[in-house]
Amino acid sequence: METAYTIVVPDIEQLSRLCGTNDSNLHLIEKFLGVPIYTRGNELSVESSDPAVMNRFRHVIDRVLDEMTESRDDDPNLVTSVITRLIPPDESMVPDEAFFSAACIRIPGAVKSVYPKSYNQAELIQSMRHNSVVLCTGPAGSGKTFLAVAEALNQLLSGEVSRLVLTRPVVEAGESLGFLPGDFEQKISPYLKPLFDAIEYLLPRGMPEKLTEAGAIEIAPLAYMRGRTLNNSILILDEAQNTTREQMKLFLTRMGEGSKAFVTGDITQIDLPSRIPSGLIHACHVLRDIDGIKIMRMSGSDIVRNPLVRKIVQAYEDDEEK
């Protein structure tokens, strides 16, 4: 026997955003649930004899409304990302909303909370909290760099560490730092733009500059890190697929007392000469069995930058397999 379950959305603006243009979001939720959603005023209802359908309906609506309130962003992909989170990568797994809630990043003083948008994203966040070294590979748009920056800022501004150190390999297309104009910060800053874009997105206006001036956020090109020991710091190495084995070892051995290292990269976009193996691929292999080191591999299903990006990545992967 079918029973009805109704949710009342008192905020008309939130209801409008939840439904989407021409009820496009409701159609997505209906496809996920496998049953139609009935609307009447500010009420949303489903009818089913399966309690699991009712639970999924409640989870989706509650989570979308919570994230609308928390983030205050008009994210057009919010419903899609919530549904993606509720579909586990392993069919034997049961969706656990508490797991996602625990992985939410709430940066002290920030204007936005960061919610994981897939199972792997939630696991990546938890891994960065409970391991000293995290190496994460994945395609563009899977959130690896953004989440590394967000969690690093969370731990920095919570007082768990006193400094955030940003770096990445910068020798590309035969051009080295020595031939670029300006001091080393001016030389490397354009290469670190994705990291600073994330910082500026997450923190109030003026706060990134204050943290940089105070030395709490530091730019450190790999070439300048030799001989240093970085205590009580979080080190982020982005674009790590373009490090050599020697550079990766140099970076990881800079960690001092109370420090962590977050390493991100896309092993399908290696710019090194073909004769030089990627330090990221090598590190993921040789460090995989060490306690305190977590190897994470994101996939196309984690891409949330734009729904079209996921399709583009999948098309390239399919072509490479031919």
CA–CA dist 71, 112 (Å, integer): 5
Show the domains of the chain with their CATH numbers: 3-85 (3.30.1370.10), 118-321 (3.40.50.300)
Ranges of residues in the chain with a pLDDT under 70 are: 1, 71-74, 84-97, 171-189, 304-307, 309-310, 321-322
CB 61 within 8 A of CB 7: yes
- Interior angle at CA 210, CA 206 and CA 215, nearest 5: 150
* Reported pTM: 0.74
- What tokens were used for 313? 């990545």
CA–CA dist 237, 239 (Å, integer): 7
Q: What are phi and psi of 135, to 5 degrees?
A: -110, 120
CA–CA dist 242, 322 (Å, integer): 26
pLDDT digits (tens, 9 = 90+) for 119-140: 889 999 999 999 999 999 999 8
Cβ contacts of 77 within 8 Å, gap of 6 or more? 304, 306, 307
Provide the pLDDT for residue 105.
94
- What tokens were used for 200? 């500026």
CA–CA dist 265, 285 (Å, integer): 15
Crossing angle for the helix pair 12-19 and 51-71, to the nearest 10 degrees: 120
pLDDT digits (tens, 9 = 90+) for 16-32: 988 888 888 898 889 88
CA–CA dist 262, 260 (Å, integer): 7
